[in-house]
Amino acid sequence: MFFKKSLGLGLALCQLIGKSSGTGSDGVQAYEKVQFSNVGFAGTYTPVKSLKNVDSSKCSCEVSGDVWFSGTNAPMSSGVSVHFRGPLKLHQFAYYTSSNFDVTSNSTSESWSRLAYYDASSQVGENVTFLTAAGDDSPCLGKALTYAASNGTGSASSSTLIASDTLLKSDEEFMIYSNISCPSSSTKKGCGVYRKGIPAFYGFDGETKMFVFEFETPTETQSNSSSFSYYDLPAIWLLNEQIARTSQYPTNSNCSCWASGCGEFDIFEAMNGTEKNNFYSTFHTFQGIEYLGTGIQADGYIPRSTSGTMKGGVVFDSSGNTVVFMSNNTAFDLSIDAGTLNGILSDFNSSASYQTKLATISATAPSTTSKSNALSIFERGHGLLRYYVFIAVTTFTQVFLF
Ligand SMILES: *[C@@H]1O[C@H](CO)[C@@H](O)[C@H](O)[C@H]1NC(C)=O
Ligand SMILES: *[C@@H]1O[C@H](CO)[C@@H](O)[C@H](O)[C@H]1NC(C)=O
Ligand SMILES: *[C@@H]1O[C@H](CO)[C@@H](O)[C@H](O)[C@H]1NC(C)=O
Ligand SMILES: *[C@@H]1O[C@H](CO)[C@@H](O)[C@H](O)[C@H]1NC(C)=O
Ligand SMILES: *[C@@H]1O[C@H](CO)[C@@H](O)[C@H](O)[C@H]1NC(C)=O
Ligand SMILES: *[C@@H]1O[C@H](CO)[C@@H](O)[C@H](O)[C@H]1NC(C)=O
Ligand SMILES: *[C@@H]1O[C@H](CO)[C@@H](O)[C@H](O)[C@H]1NC(C)=O
Ligand SMILES: *[C@@H]1O[C@H](CO)[C@@H](O)[C@H](O)[C@H]1NC(C)=O
Ligand SMILES: *[C@@H]1O[C@H](CO)[C@@H](O)[C@H](O)[C@H]1NC(C)=O
């Protein structure tokens, strides 16, 4: 989402269940559910420490020392913002957390509580703030965040719900944060350092969390031209909440924590014109890969409908499973039973299952401090190669069930 991705290097570290129909240009199949396991590792990233001369050509940014993350789903266990790119109409959005949920077990799983909700048709917005990059332009940061106007792309002076039936066009984006305001910008405060003057809110946190959507992605009606970066390539994705508060599309990689691996997960993303009707799911974290821009992409896709309304989302469970699904049974209720959700997730028949795990990375974060000099565990490489990973598990099985 951040860089145009290079081809073919993605590791197929995922599990795919629920074959439907269709085959991609390179023989990759269509699914209704895409699952990653062993998600989460101990690692570091460098948050932005300062943004200088933001409005002039001398614009520059500095990062601070390494901050550690670890545990199940890390770094996606941190607070995240939710991003949308057209062509897309958002009908419903909900964010849930659960004290414990495992996609492989009902007996040990607890129910889900809805902590944020948006419904376009009834204009209900609970714990949501719609933002878009419609503010002042900066040579190194790009446009500043503002409250989104009801049309999704204009700027508003206060928090506004996107109007029902609003169509984002190709390249147009908005995002959702919670409605909890950030404290002042500081490396020592809850939201870290962020760009001056923006409406700054916390993202959606929790190790065990779920995001669900009802949306449409109609075919773009404008004609294609080189002025588009993402022509007819809709997407819904998650970013570490700090990224857009400093800069989502910086010209200098130190102007956001993205390049150091603070976290992105693409839930539904159309990647290129050849496969514009296929949604891929991708981790852009350093869990066993060298090239963050390529990421760890599932070797299968969920079909995009260009006519109907789609319902689906992503579950990050308490056992390191990340499950992306598309199902008309997707629920948006205030509370969802563990059995109900696992029922929806098991509703897909498994004519093919392709499975492996994300790499296990052996490193231990220091227990006393989030900033560490204990880099002897990692050997620094050049450029994007931040870790030489110790891959303890490279199990690879391919099972076909007929
Ligand atoms: C599995 O699902 C696909 C598409 O949803 C369907 O075409 C196929 O008949 C199903 N197979 C079985 C055994 O139910
Ligand atoms: C945030 O959203 C919640 C849930 O709708 C609401 O109760 C609360 O008043 C909102 N807070 C602010 C500051 O708008
Ligand atoms: C979107 O809303 C803004 C602010 O209300 C307005 O200035 C802008 O013209 C609108 N854009 C479109 C395409 O209607
Ligand atoms: C709003 O979302 C935040 C972010 O995850 C959460 O901590 C908070 O409890 C939510 N507020 C309500 C009223 O549910
Ligand atoms: C980013 O910051 C690091 C550490 O301070 C520095 O080594 C690097 O050159 C900077 N990168 C850019 C593109 O300025
Ligand atoms: C389009 O994207 C898919 C998924 O990443 C990839 O497998 C395919 O090679 C890409 N095709 C082209 C023409 O870039
Ligand atoms: C749009 O044009 C670009 C080249 O400018 C091309 O790569 C892309 O595949 C085209 N998209 C479609 C859907 O034809
Ligand atoms: C899901 O609902 C949409 C919109 O109502 C419909 O177009 C689509 O066929 C349904 N899909 C299935 C598998 O029933
Ligand atoms: C959980 O319960 C639901 C509803 O009874 C069922 O459909 C599903 O298969 C169960 N899942 C697991 C993992 O036991």
> H helices then E strands: how many in the chain?
2, 25
- Its sign, for the CA torsion 167, 325, 119, 114, is negative
267: phi then psi, degrees, rounded to nearest 5: -80, -60
- The band of 289, judged by pLDDT with boundaries at 50, 70 and 90, is confident
- Report the SS3 class of residue 259: helix
> Among the atoms of ligand 6, which is closest to the Cα of residue 297?
5
User: E strand or H helix at 387, and its extent?
Assistant: none
Ligand 5 centroid – CA 254 distance (Å): 6
Which residue's C-alpha comes closest to atom 9 of ligand 4? 115
Ligand 6 centroid – CA 28 distance (Å): 10
Closest Cα to residue 211, out of 255, 245, 257, 178? 178
The region, left, alpha or beta by phi > 0 then psi within -120 to 50, assigned to residue 141 is alpha
Task: Give the pLDDT confidence score for residue 13 in this predicted structure.
Answer: 36
Task: Spell 305-321 as b/e; 16+ CB within 10 A means b.
Answer: eeeeebbbbbbbbbbbb
pLDDT digits (tens, 9 = 90+) for 157-209: 999 999 999 999 999 999 999 999 999 999 999 999 999 999 999 999 999 99
Q: Model-level pTM? A: 0.89
> Among the atoms of ligand 5, which is closest to the Cα of residue 61?
14
Q: Say whether pLDDT at 8 is over 50.
A: no
Domain regions of the chain by residue span: 15-399
- Tell me if 329 CB under 6 Å of ligand 8: no
Q: Report the pLDDT averaged over residues 298-326.
A: 94
> Among the atoms of ligand 1, which is closest to the Cα of residue 349?
1
- The larger pLDDT score, comparing residue 3 to residue 84, is at 84
- Tell me if 290 CB under 6 Å of ligand 2: no
Q: Say whether pLDDT at 369 is over 50.
A: no
Give the number of the ligand closest to the Cα of residue 343. Answer: 9
